[in-house]
Each structure stands twice: as structure tokens, then as C-alpha cells.
Amino acid sequence: MTNERPAPAETNPPRGGAARGRVLIIAGSDSGGGAGIQADIKTVTALGGYAMTAITALTAQNTLGVFGILDISPDFVARQIRAVLDDIGADCIKLGMLHRPEIIETVAATLAEAAPDVPVVVDPVMVAKGGQSLLANAAVASLRRLLLPVAAVLTPNLPEAAALLDEIDATEQPPEELAARLLALGPAAVLLKGGHGEGPVLVDVLAERDQPAERYESRRIASRHTHGTGCTLASALACGLAQGLPLRTAVIRARAYVRAAIEAAPGFGGGHGPLAHGHTVRPFPGG
């Protein structure tokens, strides 16, 4: 028996002709199963990818809110990331709830060393659906400084966009302008989500460097079962990129997946209920 270190991720491609689609998710856990790591795993699996995780925090959470957060040590977060990348590898990395500056710094340093060429989708999770903070105020600057410049895609909602731009409100500004300003912070692309906007039409904007911005419009679904939509969209997007889809195609598929998941929501809980992440999976015969 030896202590030889496994080959780096890039030398460990999927075996047996397996398709690409390995997504490493670095995020917090949601005990209610609607958001966070649980939603991420369900989404990637439902879209045909392979989900792996590095958990950054545990939450005591349900559809009514977040009742407690237990932090994972930065060192153990790094050990989870290295264990996955050293053996299985990844085709895309999705970042969700990172919570504290120390976690952000550790994740950034570990990925720079262990996966410098793997595309990263950054979902800047800041506030839970029920309004509870999931990102310490001191961590916003670390997120802006360390992770936005290495993001292949940044996926903020309107309140997150305002925080990243150090503003109070972003709902009154044209989304194309907001996306362009976020792009100037360093990411290669920005998918600005318009779910927190007003009116019957939801507008998302995709902005890329040296490309005109694209608008994606859809009728707003009247539903309280929208817990985890941001996590789900970012993971669906990451899965598409991991599977080799062009960015625009991955965005279109991710938006369609989330919309169908809202429409098919199971109706659980007394608050902001979860989505139907498994709507792409055919029921077992007779089930």
C-alpha cells in the first residue's frame, strides 16, 4: 500500500465512453430538500449529469424559513473538494452558499490550484426565500474580489446584483445595464435573473464579453412554490456546460427545466414550497 497521490482531474476522464457531465457542487445543505445541495443534486441527476458535492454549511430549514446554520471548517471544505477532484474530476463547478469570507478564500485558493481550467458557475447565494441572510456582510467583498473574476457565468437575482454593485435597489434599472455593470466586475458571462422584478412578465438577461446582451422573457407563474429556483437554475446551467452545451443552449434548457419544475411543484409545506425536480424522470411503470 502506498500514499501516492491520485492523478489530477484532467487525466481522469470518464471511463467506458461515458458522456461528460460531472458537476462538483460547493454549497450549503438545505434540510428541507428544496434548495442548496439537495436541489443541486436532484437537478443535475434529472438532467443526466453526475453530481458531486463539497458541503460548506448545514442549515436547519424548511419551507417556512432557516432556523439555524452550522458552519463547516474551511479545511474540511477544501478536503472535500480535493477528494472529488483528485479521483473523479469535474467538467463544471457550481458554487452556491459560501456564507463566510474564510470559506470563500479557501474555495478560491483550492480551485485555483486543483481545477484552474474547469469552468465555474457562481450563484451568489445571499438571502433565503424566507428572507434570512445566508451570506455574512463581510463576505460580499471577498466574493466580489476572489470569485467573480474566475466565474465562467455569474447568476445573480436582482437583490444580489444590487449587493454586488454596492447599491440599495436594482429593480428600477434596465436589466441590460445591470448585467453590463456586473460583467465589468470580471466574470466571463452574467445571467441576471429577473424573478424579483415586478409585473406579469419575467425577464432574464444573458450578457457575455464582446457580445450583445440577450433577453429571455416568459410569463410569470403565480405560485408560492418557488423555493430553490436560483440554486436549481444555476445547477441546471452548470450541468449543461458540463455536458458540452453552448452557453446560450444551456441557458435555454435550464430556464425551461426550472419553469416546468415550478409548474409541477408537489405543493409541500406551509411556506415557500419546493419544486418538482424530478419532472424529467418518467414514473416507474405502475407507480
Active site residues: 193, 226, 228-231
In contact, 132 and 126? CB cutoff 8 Å: no
d(C-alpha 78, C-alpha 109), whole Å: 9
236 SS3 class: helix
Question: What b-and-e string marks burial along 94-115, b requiring 16 or more CB atoms within 10 Å of the CB?
Answer: bbbbbbbbbbbbbbbebbeebb
Parallel, antiparallel, or unpaired: how do β-strands 120-122 and 153-154 relate? parallel
- Cα 249 to chain centroid distance, Å, stands at 17
Is the Cβ–Cβ distance between 126 and 159 less than 8 Å?
Answer: yes
CA distance to 43, 208, 252, per residue, from 202 (Å): 22, 20, 14
With cell 455569474, the residue in question is 154
- DSSP lists the bridge partners of residue 58 as 29, 70
Q: What's the CA gap between 49 and 16, in Å, rounded?
A: 15
DSSP state of 10: G
